[in-house]
């Protein structure tokens, strides 16, 4: 080795100073640059001349300005020979530069007086940023692990537990310290632990094993139901262990059981409603139907009055039953919207027609107004819209002794495929006291107390309206009339806009293609009655005979099919619920038998009068629907419609 004394010390120092990768600076005691090597200029991005015009404090990060204060004091006092720390500075471009700084003090050889500092800078920005990123990643992972709602257990390839999060303690009852170093068998059992270790290098086996691990053992001896996921711990492409992530399924299992129980309860409620509807309406059919028949006989005035009282009382009872069944079905979640083309103006006219007689009895004036912006044709649920309008109009008539009622329809807003309509029913009736407005839409609530009230009803009408309007994605509310007595009930509903014109005629269930019949040459119609209840048989038979038609009675669907095989009938009144074969099955067989031939019109007759049933029966191939109790007017209407359809059919054939 050559002796350094052979080299020029000054030349050697100059070379090191100029070419060292470490920044070296001579800094005065008042913190100004005295001299810097090229590495300092490179680190901070300034030229030597530029650096001499700024102080070290000018470029130091504000959060690090007090880092060296105490250390410099100690250095000047001679208590320490040097110090080292990390500082942040701003380079010429304004970016933060992390540096490792080493500071020493040069003193006078004679009296030891401080002369200047020698400061060395090493740029550690890249490694510091990598360190911060790693730290951030660790903190995120730690936070995720700590606050995760699932238990996370890490274990090695030998099945020994390495660590776990807080949820492990809650799920197992063990402290993490008690688990570290233990085998996984402590938590998942010996059998599962052996299977886990055997499958640990096969991904497909791992997936099978994780499905088999369904229980975690608690310290107190019981098991916790879990859903397990196994995730590998990979370090530098090598699998070093696994995470077992266990989700506690106890609450989810409870929710599933509760959901299943609720669904069974709803089904039982729905079945009960259907049964109650049938059982109540069957005897009601006898009561109301026979009053219709009795009124067609020769009665004196006193007898007519008594029979009309019976009929009115029966009709009132039927309204109450309908309201209760409707509300119960909505509450049980069995009511759904059905979409079909509807004309708002037509629905309004049809509803007014149904209530007009009651309005005329009280000499009430009814006016309607439909904004021109309301589309002619929309897609919506005709039945539910008509039911809400019917309820509000009936209430308006009921509580308006004299004066007028108005119905207004306008468009609230319209988008490409949706329109929101607002319906307003105003009356000049008795109005609603302010203190009672908040309860108007509560079930069974009535403005006039049931002990003193004058109007009949269940107090369910407005509650049903509210539920139906909400189904149509709307709202319903009450407003007091400002300048006149009475009330205003308003509701909104959403409808789909019909982009292309659709002929409503082809959507009507009772259409020419559905009723391919030719009228008998006789004056009367041949009608088959399929009904198992003797009282209902008599009621229907008497009503039809009063209307001048010939009837045949059968007691079930099987007999109805046989009767159609033997003879042709113009109309079949088909009960839905019958022994041996129900009405739906019989209808299907009759329709198949009559394919391509003239076929009878099949009318569903049922006590299952819950909303939505009519759509169900019509979709099953029936042509019309009437519910029990049956009135002679309903029967007459069915026959009139049948005869009109036949007349149209004959006219088309003659052309």
Of 219-233, 441-455, 601-615, the one with minimum mean pLDDT is 441-455
Of 38-47, 86-95, 242-251, 512-521, the one with minimum mean pLDDT is 512-521
Distance CA 461, CA 323 (A): 7
Structural class in CATH, domain 526-654: alpha beta
Q: Report pLDDT for 119.
A: 93
Regarding predicted confidence, which is higher, 627 or 364? 364
Q: Report pLDDT for 298.
A: 86
**Two tokens at 310?**
């019976």
Cα 352 vs. chain centroid, distance in angstroms? 35
User: Other CB atoms closer than 10 Å to residue 117's CB: what's the count?
Assistant: 21
- Give pLDDT tens digits for 588-614: 999 888 887 888 999 988 765 555 566
Tell the residue number behind the tokens 């009055």, with chain if given: 305
Distance CA 507, CA 502 (A): 9
- Give pLDDT tens digits for 168-186: 888 999 998 999 999 999 9
Indicate the pLDDT class of residue 334, thresholds 50, 70 and 90.
low
Q: Report pLDDT for 527.
A: 93
Q: What is the CATH number of domain 138-252?
A: 3.30.450.20
Section 185-191 average pLDDT = 90
Q: Does 13 have pLDDT greater than 70?
A: yes
Q: Does 74 have pLDDT greater than 60?
A: yes
Q: Does 147 have pLDDT greater than 70?
A: no
Q: How far is CA 414 from CA 66, 205, 355, 377, 499, in A?
A: 66, 57, 30, 13, 13
Which residues have CB under 8 Å from 469's CB, separation 6+?
388, 475, 476, 491, 492, 493
List every span in the chain annotated with CATH 1.10.287.130: 261-332
Q: Report pLDDT for 176.
A: 87
First to last CA, the chain: 128
Q: DSSP for 161-184, please give it.
A: EEEE-HHHHHHHS--HHHHTTSBT
**Two tokens at 581?**
């074969």
Percent of the chain with pLDDT over 70: 81
Q: Counting beta carbons within 10 angstroms of the beta carbon of residue 229, is it exposed (0 to 12), middle (13 to 18) or buried (19 or more)?
A: middle
Q: Report pLDDT for 563.
A: 92
Q: Does 449 have pLDDT greater than 50?
A: no
Q: DSSP for 178-231, please give it.
A: HHTTSBTHHHH-HHHHHHHHHSTT-HHHHHHHHHH--EEE-TTS-EEEEEEEEE
**Residue 471: what are its φ and ψ, rounded to 5°?**
-60, -35
Q: Report pLDDT for 509.
A: 45
636 contacts 614 by C-beta, under 8 angstroms: no
Percent of the chain with pLDDT over 90: 20
Report the CATH architecture of 340-496: 2-Layer Sandwich (3.30)
19 contacts 72 by C-beta, under 8 angstroms: no
Report the CATH architecture of 9-130: 2-Layer Sandwich (3.30)
Q: Does 129 have pLDDT greater than 80?
A: yes
Q: Report pLDDT for 25.
A: 92
Regarding predicted confidence, which is higher, 139 or 476? 476
- Give pLDDT tens digits for 245-274: 888 888 788 888 888 887 777 677 666 766
Distance CA 386, CA 7 (A): 111
CA atoms within 13 A on the CB side of 635: 27
Section 298-305 average pLDDT = 84
Q: Does 369 have pLDDT greater than 70?
A: yes
Q: DSSP for 545-563, please give it.
A: HHTT-EEEEESSHHHHHHH
Average pLDDT of every residue of the chain: 81
Q: Report pLDDT for 516.
A: 37
Assign residue 333 a region: left if phi > 0, alpha if psi is -120 to 50, beta otherwise?
Answer: left
- Give pLDDT tens digits for 493-518: 999 886 544 444 434 444 433 333 34
Distance CA 245, CA 229 (A): 5
Distance CA 230, CA 204 (A): 12
Section 55-77 average pLDDT = 88
Sheet with 161-164, strands from edge to edge, namely 161-164, 151-156, 238-248, 223-235, 215-217
Q: Which of 277, 316, 309, 273 is nearest to 291 (CA)?
A: 309
Q: What is the CATH number of domain 261-332?
A: 1.10.287.130
Section 123-149 average pLDDT = 72
Sheet with 82-90, strands from edge to edge, namely 33-36, 23-27, 114-123, 96-107, 82-90
- Give pLDDT tens digits for 418-436: 999 999 999 988 887 776 7
Residue 76 DSSP SS3:
helix
Q: Where are the alpha helices (DSSP H) in 434-478?
A: 461-471
List every span in the chain annotated with CATH 3.30.450.20: 9-130, 138-252
Regarding predicted confidence, which is higher, 289 or 103? 103
Section 322-333 average pLDDT = 61
């Amino acid at each position: 080795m050559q002796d350094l004394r052979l080299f020029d010390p000054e030349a050697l120092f100059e070379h090191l100073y100029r070419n060292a990768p470490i920044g070296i600076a001579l800094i005065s005691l008042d913190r100004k640059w005295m001299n810097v090597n090229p590495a300092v200029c490179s680190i901070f991005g300034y030229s030597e001349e530029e650096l001499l015009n700024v102080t070290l404090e000018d470029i130091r990060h504000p959060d690090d300005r007090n880092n060296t204060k105490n250390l410099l004091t100690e250095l000047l006092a001679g208590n320490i020979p040097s110090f080292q720390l990390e500082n942040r500075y701003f380079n010429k471009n304004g970016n933060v530069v992390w540096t490792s700084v080493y500071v020493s003090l040069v003193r006078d050889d004679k009296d030891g007086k401080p002369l200047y500092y020698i400061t060395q800078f090493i740029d550690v920005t890249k490694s510091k940023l990598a360190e911060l990123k790693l730290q951030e990643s660790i903190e995120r992972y730690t936070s995720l692990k700590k606050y995760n709602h699932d238990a996370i257990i890490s274990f090695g390839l030998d099945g020994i537990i390495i660590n776990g999060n807080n949820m492990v303690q809650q799920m197992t009852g063990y402290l993490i310290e008690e688990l570290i170093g233990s085998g996984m068998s402590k938590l998942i059992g010996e059998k599962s632990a052996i299977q886990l270790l055997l499958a640990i290098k096969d991904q497909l086996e791992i997936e099978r094993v994780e499905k088999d691990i369904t229980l975690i053992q608690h310290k107190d001896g019981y098991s916790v139901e879990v859903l397990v996921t196994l995730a590998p711990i990979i370090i530098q492409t090598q699998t070093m262990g696994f995470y077992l992530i266990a989700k506690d399924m106890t609450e989810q299992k409870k929710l599933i059981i509760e959901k299943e129980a609720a669904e069974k309860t709803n089904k039982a409620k729905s079945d009960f409603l259907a049964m109650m509807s049938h059982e109540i309406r069957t005897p009601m059919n006898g009561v109301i139907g026979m009053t219709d028949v009795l009124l067609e006989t020769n009665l004196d005035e006193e007898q007519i009055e008594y029979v009309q009282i019976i009929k009115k009382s029966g009709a009132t009872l039927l309204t109450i039953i309908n309201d209760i069944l409707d509300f119960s079905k909505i509450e049980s979640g069995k009511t759904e919207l059905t979409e079909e083309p509807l004309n708002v103006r037509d629905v309004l006219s049809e509803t007014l027609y149904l209530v007009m007689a009651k309005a005329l009895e009280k000499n009430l004036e009814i006016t309607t107004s439909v904004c021109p912006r309301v589309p002619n044709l929309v897609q919506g649920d005709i039945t539910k819209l008509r039911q809400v309008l019917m309820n509000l109009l009936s209430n308006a008539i009921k509580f308006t002794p004299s004066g007028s009622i108005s119905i207004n329809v306008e468009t609230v807003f319209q988008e490409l495929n949706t329109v929101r309509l607002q319906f307003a029913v105003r009356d000049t009736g008795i109005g609603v006291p302010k203190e009672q407005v908040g309860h108007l839409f509560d079930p069974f609530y009535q403005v006039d107390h049931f002990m003193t009230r004058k109007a009949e009803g269940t107090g369910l009408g407005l509650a049903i309206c509210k539920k139906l309007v909400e189904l149509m994605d709307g709202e319903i509310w009450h407003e007091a009339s400002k300048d006149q007595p009475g009330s205003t009930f308003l509701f909104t509903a959403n409808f789909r806009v019909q982009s292309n014109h659709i002929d409503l005629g082809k959507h009507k269930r009772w259409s020419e293609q559905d009723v391919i019949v030719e009228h008998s040459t006789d004056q009367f119609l041949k009608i088959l009655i399929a009904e198992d209840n003797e009282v209902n048989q008599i009621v229907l038979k008497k009503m039809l005979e009063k209307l001048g038609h010939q009837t045949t009675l059968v007691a079930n669907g099987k007999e109805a099919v046989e009767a159609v095989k033997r003879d042709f009938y113009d109309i079949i009144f088909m009960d839905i619920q019958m022994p041996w074969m129900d009405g739906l099955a019989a209808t299907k067989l009759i329709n198949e038998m009559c394919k391509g031939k003239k076929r009878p019109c099949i009318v569903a007759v049922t006590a299952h009068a819950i909303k939505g049933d009519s759509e169900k029966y019509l979709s099953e191939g029936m042509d019309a629907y009437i519910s029990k109790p049956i009135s002679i007017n309903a029967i007459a209407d069915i026959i009139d419609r049948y005869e009109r359809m036949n007349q149209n059919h004959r006219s088309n054939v003659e052309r």
